[in-house]
Structure 1
């Protein structure tokens, strides 16, 4: 199964569970929820959370996101990201029902790497 990931802190995860949806500040600020593929997630993790050991990955079912009527667009990241890399952006709150698993995401000695999803 193809999955999408949302990187978050434990406090954010708790807030999402209570709200019943993944609606971080980015949704109000820029209009979408940042998502990644397993192959991509190390890039934003290293950039935004270097050294943190308490991060979590919400493993999301893309079909459940689409089924809730939330559009996912594949768009460029930030300046400095590989030009060919397109990140999934959810243009609406992602329903908590799309979460298939939650995994800890900890850096190794050389920082964050591609996680094993399973």
Structure 2
């Protein structure tokens, strides 16, 4: 199984479970949902989510995502982007994703 990750607010994920699909704001503004691989995750979290609270980390089985996934260049790396709504059944695990006392993130132990 190839896992990709997405960081979102807990309330957004709760709404997605009720709807059966997840739509990040970036889907409307940029046309895709930003994701990261394991090796990109902490860099992404610390760059875009520093000092934020109430976050969830989604573990997504890439093979179960119904929308197209493209790996595209950003910050000298290839990041997975989901071009459409994320079907919630592609998410096989999620955890609370909280920053440390300095507002930074560390790799979860189970990843």
- TM band (smaller chain): 0.7 to 0.9
Residue aligning to 1:4: 4
RMSD of the alignment, in Å?
1.7
Cα pair 1:56 1:104 within 8 Å, conserved? yes
Cα pair 1:57 1:103 within 8 Å, conserved? yes
Q: Secondary structure in 1 aligned to 2:38?
A: coil
Length-normalised TM-score, structure 2: 0.87
* Higher-strand-fraction structure: 2
Give 1:115 deviation, angstroms: 2.9
Length-normalised TM-score, structure 1: 0.82
Whole-angstrom CA distance in 2 between matches of 1:117 and 1:74: 24
Give 1:29 deviation, angstroms: 1.2
Residue aligning to 1:113: 106
Give 1:116 deviation, angstroms: 3.2
Number of residue-to-residue matches in the alignment: 110
Residue aligning to 1:17: 17
Whole-angstrom CA distance in 2 between matches of 1:42 and 1:92: 24
Cα pair 1:38 1:115 within 8 Å, conserved? no
Which consecutive unaligned segments of at least 5 residues does structure 2 have? Answer: none
Deviates more, 1:1-10 or 1:94-103: 1-10
- Aligned 1:1-118 pairs, distance under 5 A: 1-65=1-65, 68=66, 70-77=67-74, 81=75, 83=76, 85-108=77-100, 111-117=104-110
Which consecutive unaligned segments of at least 5 residues does structure 1 have? Answer: none
